[in-house]
């Protein structure tokens, strides 16, 4: 899935000049639910610019046309409405009072963390840590929340003297794969296994890179292509409990990677 909203947010967050592209991105984000219904001239008027400038902006975001861009915005909006962890129905169905919501939510998170403590294979985790220590060209792959987690582990490992690559955009991930080879290590983070169902795995394996998948989903497609699979958390990835609690459990797995790397290898630095 193309991360159009993340691309807009990244442009706004990283643009110090506050130029016309910043203004367009900011205006789009403030009116994001309207964007799929607008034509290019209407959007240009909203942004106080020309349709030609909008077209150049769309190209900058690496979309072929304004129509493709709108389709991706619409797709992303529908995705977030359906996503359990962003769905207001989760609150309505699980809890009737603020106290019940608090109790239900934290019980959900605690239960997933407990499942992770019970089913996380420390031998496989240590094998992953060994890979991270041995390989010099390492990249973490993921979508949305997993991308943020990738940047977190990137910083944590850097503090231990190990530089790895993480990405803020799906397109960058695909471009990076082009330069991978048998001396590369690819680590896919995916709470529900969706990233592993994309063409990313095929592209990585075509490059003969070492592949690791970290997921809750024991039925992830193409899992047999991985050199190592690290399972954690609640395997019922179609449930709200798994999707919501799995994000926090993934954070705990990342922390464990950090702690084991520090314990096993950082003393040699």
Q: How many residues does the chain have?
A: 269
Quick one: which of 209, 204, 210 has its CA closest to 174? 204
The CATH number of the domain covering residues in 98-268: 3.40.50.10490
CB 56 within 8 A of CB 63: no
> To which H or E segment does residue 115 belong?
helix 98-119
Contact 141, 150 (CB under 8 A): yes
**Helix, strand or coil, per DSSP, at residue 188:** strand
Average pLDDT over residues 117-123: 96
Q: Is the pLDDT of residue 8 over 70?
A: yes
d(CA 250, CA 136): 24
Res. 100 pLDDT band, cuts 50 70 90: confident
Sequence spans of domains, the chain = 4-82, 98-268
**Residue 234, CB half-sphere, CA atoms under 13 Å: how many?**
21
Q: What is the pLDDT of residues 20-38, one digit of tens each?
A: 999 999 999 999 999 999 9
Calculate helix-pair angle for 98-119, 240-264, nearest 10 degrees. 50
Rounded average pLDDT over 113-126: 96
DSSP state of 139: E
CATH of domain 4-82: 1.10.10.10
Q: How far apart are CA 176 and CA 156, in angstroms?
A: 21
CA distance 153 to 176: 18
User: How high is the pLDDT of residue 83?
Assistant: 58
Nearest to 128 by CA among 6, 221, 261, 11: 261
pTM of full prediction above 0.85:
no
């Amino acid at each position: 899935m193309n991360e159009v909203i993340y691309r807009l947010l990244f442009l706004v967050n990283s643009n110090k000049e506050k130029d016309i592209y910043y203004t367009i991105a900011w205006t789009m984000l403030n009116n994001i639910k309207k964007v799929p219904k607008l034509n290019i001239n209407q959007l240009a008027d909203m942004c106080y610019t020309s349709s030609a400038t909008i077209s150049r902006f769309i190209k900058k975001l690496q979309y072929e046309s304004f129509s493709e861009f709108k389709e991706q915005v619409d797709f992303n909006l529908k995705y977030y409405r359906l996503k359990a962890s962003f769905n207001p129905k989760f609150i309505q169905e699980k809890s009737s009072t603020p106290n019940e919501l608090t109790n239900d939510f934290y019980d959900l998170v605690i239960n997933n963390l407990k499942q992770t403590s019970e089913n996380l294979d420390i031998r496989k985790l240590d094998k992953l840590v060994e890979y991270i220590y041995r390989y010099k060209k390492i990249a973490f792959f993921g979508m949305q929340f997993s991308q943020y987690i990738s940047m977190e582990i990137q910083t944590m490992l850097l503090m231990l003297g190990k530089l790895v690559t993480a990405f803020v955009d799906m397109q960058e991930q695909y471009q990076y794969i082009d330069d991978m080879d048998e001396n590369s290590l690819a680590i896919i983070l995916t709470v529900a296994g969706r990233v592993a169902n994309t063409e990313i795995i095929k592209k990585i394996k075509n490059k003969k890179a070492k592949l690791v998948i970290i997921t809750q989903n024991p039925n992830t497609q193409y899992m047999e292509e991985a050199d190592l699979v690290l399972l954690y958390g609640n395997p019922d990835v179609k449930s709200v409990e798994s999707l919501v609690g799995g994000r926090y459990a993934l954070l705990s797995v990342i922390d464990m990677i950090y702690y084991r790397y520090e314990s096993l290898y950082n003393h040699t630095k």
